[in-house]
Amino acid sequence: MKRNTNPFKWRHFEPEIILLCVRWYCRYQLSYRDLEEMMQERGLSVHYSTLFRWVQRYAPEINKRIRPHLKMTGTSYRIDETYIKVGKTYKYLYRAVDKQGQTIEFMLSSKRDISSAKRFFKKMMRADHRRLPFSISVDKNAAYPDAFAASQKEKVLPFDCRLRRTKYLNNVIEQDHRFVKKRVRAAQCFKRFGTAQRTLDGIEALHMIRKGQVKRLGGKDARGQAKFVTSLFQVAA
């Protein structure tokens, strides 16, 4: 029996509407109630809890489906972490960009230690759109040297890659954090780790699209970006 792979099966709204809401929520500084009101202006009654479920279901899927379409990044990496509030505590969002500010990879972590840094290195090196790093620039976080050495020993990182602990080199990624932080503030705090992780998948994916990381798609081409997201799901824009 042929398996039905339609990701929108049993949904009560058209796929175009669902993807529009998910894209707007992940791209702009909107709360779920803001988006509910915006849909009401268009004559659509969508409860904010439904919008939440859409984002949780389709934001990670957008992140997954854009990966084959991303341009190759540079060989000089910048890695840094930023705080993300989940419930009553702060978690750590590890992020890596190249020297041009193009996103390589990201990972939400409960801790900021050697084990977390090693896990991020592994995830980063699995990204299909990255070139092998010649250098990795980090801040003064004490966990990085040990994690870097262990990752080279385990052949996760190339042996000729250099670790540079110079804070000013990370200005590029610290500036890039701003988009994510602004978007997270509008979300008014995440309640659970999984919720935060899935939402950040969409935020980071739309950020990559906005930065022009998709092949043959400009960072300022808003209409083209909308069509691209719908085309990922074989939906006519």
175 lies in the same domain as 87: yes
State the average pLDDT over residues 41-66. Answer: 96
Domain count, the chain: 2
Return the CATH number at 156: 3.30.420.10
Does one domain contain both 34 and 85?
A: no
Is the domain of 54 the same as that of 119? Answer: no
Regarding whether 55 and 83 lie in a shared domain, the answer is no
For 166-227, the DSSP string reads -GGGGHHHHHHHHHHHHHHHHTT-BSSHHHHHHHHHHHHHHHHHHTT-BTT--TT-HHHHHH
Whether the model clears a pTM of 0.85, i.e. scores above it, the answer is: yes
In contact, 63 and 201? CB cutoff 8 Å: yes
User: Which domain covers residue 214, as residue numbers?
Assistant: 15-69+193-231
Residue 188 lies in a domain: no
pLDDT tens, position by position, 56-107: 999 999 999 999 999 999 999 999 999 999 999 999 999 999 999 999 999 9
C-alpha span between 222 and 229 (Å, rounded): 11
Domain boundary, last residue among 153, 179, 205: 179
